[in-house]
Amino acid sequence: MAHLVISEEVRAALQDGRPVVALESTIIAHGMPFPRNIQTALLVEQTVRDAGAVPATCAILQGKLKAGLSEDEIEMLGKAGLHVPKASRRDLPYLVSQGKNGATTVAATMIVAHMAGIRIFATGGIGGVHRGAASTMDVSADLQELARTPVAVVSAGAKRILDLGLTLEYLETYGVPVLGYQTDEFPGFYSRHSGFGVDCRLDTPKEMADLLKVKWEMGLQGGVVIANPVPEQYQLDDVLLEKTILQALEEANQLGIRGKNITPFLLAKVESLTHGESLHTNIQLVLNNARLAAAIAVAF
């Protein structure tokens, strides 16, 4: 396919019918500080391998959509950090036509994965409807991508800085199933709790794989959110977390931070206010999602 480069390892796995898990690169360039970003990205890839699947970290490099990065390419993205543009669906034509680099969001990673023929994708948390969206209209492109692109996204819910209730309403409107893995409650990213339910609970990777197969066999377009709560020992205190998020949101409002810059700002601010605890939780939930995604890919 024009503009798409699939690594030899990922291509061989796909041709042989072996399980492959897509991974995003925004978490490398924008989601964590150097050098933890590189260390975590490589650890996530190893976690996927240990669980029996092949990792395919996605990005835009020198104007090419890439599924499967080398260790050197991951290190380059991690060192460049915020200098690498954050790439969603709308950014792809520009970055590709201009021969530039880009770190793929959930939406862009779904696009690259779908082009490559990868059905399962592990991330930290999906984007969604931002708090105050009634006046700002700030809604992540991740949600529209989930409505149109047939890739299952394993996440620890939506990022807690968002309006989780409205995010779930949006997904319902566009027919995106929200499945709870061994949980009846939609997880709140840093926390196992949100106060909101999931559409249905499934307790094994095979049940998840069976649902995905049936959905796509019936010709129902779009993806699926597989909500996988952070392990209990790593979750943050709900009351302290909400207080921290409100403080971060107030500071972002005072500074006039908007659009694609708001999420990395808020995540960094929450990390600062929790003295690094949120970063540790973030790493653990990503690893947890990678393990589950690999198990689902094996079953699928």
CATH of the domain at 196: 3.40.1790.10
User: What is the spatial distance between Cα 126 and Cα 32, in angstroms, rounded to a whole number?
Assistant: 16
- What pLDDT does 161 receive? 83
Instruction: Looking at the structure, tell me whether residues 173 and 236 fall in a common domain.
Output: yes
Q: Which one of 63, 88, 118 terminates a domain?
A: 118
pTM: 0.93
pLDDT, tens digit (0-9, with 9 covering 90-100), for 134-176: 888 889 999 999 999 999 999 999 988 899 999 999 999 999 9
What pLDDT, on the 0 to 100 scale, is given for residue 239? 85
Residue 288 buriedness (CB in 10 A; 0-12 / 13-18 / 19+): buried
Provide the CB-side half-sphere exposure for 266 (13 A, CA). 28
The pLDDT of residue 266 is above 90: no
Asked if 15 and 143 sit in the same domain, the reply is no
Distance CA 247, CA 270 (A): 9
Question: Sign (positive/negative) of CA torsion 129, 131, 134, 137?
Answer: negative
- Average pLDDT of 245-268? 80
- 114 and 169 both lie in a single domain: no
Q: Which residue has the tokens 């996530």?
A: 44
Catalytic residue among 66, 86, 159, 260: 159
Q: Is the pLDDT of residue 192 over 80?
A: yes
Indicate whether 88 and 141 sit together in one domain. Answer: no
**Residue 282: CA count within 13 A, CB half-sphere:** 24
> Do 128 and 82 belong together in one domain?
no
How far, in Å, CA of 60 to CA of 81, rounded? 14
66 has catalytic annotation = no
Last residue of a domain, one of 118, 141, 164: 118
Q: Which domain holds residue 42?
A: 1-118
Asked if 178 and 82 sit in the same domain, the reply is: no
152 shares its domain with 90: no
Helix (H) or strand (E) holding 65: strand 64-67
Q: Which of 118, 143, 169 is the last residue of a domain?
A: 118
CA distance 294 to 120: 8
Per-residue model confidence as pLDDT tens digits over 199-214:
999 999 999 999 999 9
159 is known as an active-site residue = yes
- Please indicate, yes or no, whether residues 54 and 180 belong to a single structural domain of this protein: no
Tens digits of residue pLDDT in 51-92: 999 999 999 999 999 999 999 999 999 999 999 999 999 999
Place of tokens 């290190």: 75
